């Protein structure tokens, strides 16, 4: 059984790492926050003091950090993974960081003969905890095949989206464009219905059973009605960052993204007003402008 390493034990990484522990793997992990390391150790993981300790003797290391700068530092910075990972081992980067950073990291790893899989993920904290993530993996077919048993521990729907490192980032960027636009439409729809006098519960029930009813819509709508805007596992900073990556890719490719551009502006407004809250907080901006509140009606 392979030795597994994890760098980044936040909302996503912690759930993924714990699934390996439940499956009987030896798992080492590192995070900058002491409380996360303690949580990981309590679950049976081996907490470390830096990334290099994670890489030592690990066959596969997952990196789940916020952005490209963090990912590059994890790999090649002081006490980075490059100092200890062995040739033939594999780094699986599940963070959304964009094309240029992923290519930079690929080149760094090639110098030492370390394999790489670039795999965006979808499913949120719930999917990470349950081991049911959708995974968009790119990299050589041989490396992907050799890591299939590893990916199965954390993913339910696992797709090989391309031989070229970076295609996982592209697929995730396309997905986030649709997610962002869907969030924006969801928030506007709930505020419109509420302002016009329809009970939010009725609106959610009808739309949830319609052609556009999705887990994304139902989860967002229910959290809004319950007025839960913090610690739900979907911090606004992550989505804002992802939409920025999507829009940069669109600019590079010369593709107009009208709906995604509007969503990006709303997330900019949301993160400015509520920097510590989750995606659904944006609805409060629309509520303030419309003079209504989307909440359960007890009548």
Looking at residue 160, what DSSP letter applies? E
CA nearest to 172, candidates 104, 109, 245: 245
C-beta of residue 214 within 8 angstroms of C-beta of residue 181: no
Phi, psi for residue 56 in degrees, rounded to 5: -65, 125
Catalytic residue, candidates 172, 195, 241, 251: 172
Instruction: Convert 244-255 to b/e letters by CB count within 10 Å (16 or more is b).
Output: bbbbebbeeeee
Rg (C-alpha) for the chain, rounded Å, is 20
- 172 catalytic, yes or no? yes
C-beta of residue 61 within 8 angstroms of C-beta of residue 55: yes
Instruction: Convert 69-85 to b/e letters by CB count within 10 Å (16 or more is b).
Output: ebbbebbbbebbbbbbb
Active site residues: 172
């Amino acid at each position: 059984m392979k030795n597994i390493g994890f760098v980044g034990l936040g909302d996503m990484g912690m759930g993924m790492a714990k699934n390996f522990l439940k499956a009987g793997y030896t798992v080492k992990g590192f995070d900058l926050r002491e409380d996360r390391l303690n949580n990981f150790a309590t679950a049976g993981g081996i907490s470390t003091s830096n990334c290099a300790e994670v890489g030592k003797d690990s066959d596969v290391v997952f990196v789940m950090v916020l952005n490209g700068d963090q990912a590059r530092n994890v790999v090649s910075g002081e006490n980075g993974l490059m100092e200890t990972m062995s040739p033939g081992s594999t780094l699986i980067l599940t963070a959304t960081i964009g094309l240029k950073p992923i290519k930079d990291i690929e080149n760094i790893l090639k110098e030492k003969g370390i394999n790489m899989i670039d795999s965006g993920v979808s499913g949120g904290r719930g999917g990470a905890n349950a081991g049911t993530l959708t995974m968009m993996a790119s990299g050589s077919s041989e490396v992907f095949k050799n890591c299939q048993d590893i990916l199965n521990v954390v993913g339910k729907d696992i797709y090989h989206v391309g031989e070229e490192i970076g295609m996982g980032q592209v697929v995730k960027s396309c997905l986030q464009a649709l997610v962002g636009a869907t969030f924006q439409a969801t928030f506007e729809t709930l505020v419109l219905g509420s302002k016009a006098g329809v009970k939010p519960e009725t609106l959610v029930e009808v739309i949830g059973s319609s052609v556009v009813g999705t887990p994304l819509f139902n989860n967002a709508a229910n959290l809004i009605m319950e007025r839960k805007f913090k610690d739900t596992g979907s911090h606004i900073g992550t989505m804002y960052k992802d939409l920025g990556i999507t829009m940069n890719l669109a600019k590079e490719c010369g593709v107009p993204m009208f709906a995604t551009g509007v969503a990006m502006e709303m997330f900019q407004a949301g993160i400015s007003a509520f920097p510590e809250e989750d995606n659904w907080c944006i609805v409060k901006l629309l509520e303030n402008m419309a003079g209504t509140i989307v909440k359960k009606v007890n009548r």
